[in-house]
């Protein structure tokens, strides 16, 4: 069974509630969430991710993370000297999970595989949504993010075009379609701030519906 087929099964048996808490992975076929363990370093990263997503990067100094974990500031700085170190490590997790999708082979796929791929991209971005909600702040604070994310965006577009050329081999130009997809994938989570929906599932359902409407 290839990776996309496994992902489709995971979507059937483990729907979007897999992203409600980045600290847990209820579905073994969901490879795109930050794992949680009892180790202090992973606890720091998981807590930082939650706080960055909820409050925004600029509102979460390292002291807020240590207080939330009930550990001393010195204990936290033993693992991460400054907030940028936490940010870069979280982005490294994001990059690793994103790369899994970029490496997905597109041979012998159908439109359901394609939508599974899009949904996985959406869930990764939503799990690490602070990267996009605080895009300018992240760009200023992390040169690593600025350099690497531009490369990832380019590779994502290439993979998207591979899918589209296989599924619609008529030589059509999908550039405008991709621009719409990109806007939803990167900045659709602003809905989280503007509309304040009741839960993460509602947000993801809205964004997934927006993605599907592009291809209706």
pLDDT for 23 equals 34
* Residue 64 in this model has a pLDDT that exceeds 70: yes
* Ranges 58-62, 134-138, 160-164, 193-197: which has the least confidence: 193-197
What are 96-127's pLDDT values in tens digits? 999 999 998 888 888 899 999 999 999 999 99
2 touches 187 (CB < 8 A): no
Helix (H, G, I), strand (E, B) or coil at 112: helix
Q: What is the pLDDT of residues 86-98, one digit of tens each?
A: 999 999 999 999 9
pLDDT digits (tens, 9 = 90+) for 12-44: 333 333 333 333 333 333 444 455 455 899 999
| pLDDT tens track for 156-208 | 999 999 999 888 877 778 999 999 999 999 888 777 667 665 667 778 888 88
Task: Work out the average pLDDT over 133-141.
Answer: 92
pLDDT at 207: 86
- How many CB atoms neighbour CB 90 within 10 A? 22
Q: What is the CATH number of domain 3-214?
A: 1.10.357.10
Residue with tokens 């791929």: 117
pLDDT at 10: 44
């Amino acid at each position: 069974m290839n990776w996309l087929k496994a992902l489709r099964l995971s979507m059937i048996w483990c729907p979007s509630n897999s992203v409600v808490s980045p600290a847990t992975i209820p579905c073994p076929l969901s490879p795109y969430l930050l794992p949680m363990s009892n180790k202090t370093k992973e606890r720091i990263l998981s807590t930082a991710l939650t706080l960055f997503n909820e409050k925004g990067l600029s509102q979460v100094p390292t002291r807020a993370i240590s207080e939330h974990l009930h550990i001393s500031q010195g204990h936290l700085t033993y693992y991460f000297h400054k907030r940028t170190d936490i940010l870069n490590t979280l982005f490294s997790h994001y990059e690793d999970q994103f790369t899994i999708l970029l490496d997905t082979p597109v041979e012998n796929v159908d439109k359901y595989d394609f939508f599974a791929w899009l949904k996985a991209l959406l869930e990764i971005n939503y799990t690490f949504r602070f990267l996009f909600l605080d895009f300018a702040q992240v760009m200023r604070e992390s040169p690593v993010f600025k350099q690497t994310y531009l490369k990832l965006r380019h590779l994502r577009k290439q993979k998207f075009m591979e899918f589209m050329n296989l599924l619609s081999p008529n030589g059509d130009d999908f550039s405008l379609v991709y621009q719409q997809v990109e806007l939803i994938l990167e900045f659709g989570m602003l809905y989280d701030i503007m509309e304040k929906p009741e839960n993460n599932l509602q947000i993801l359902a809205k964004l997934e519906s927006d993605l599907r409407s592009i291809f209706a």
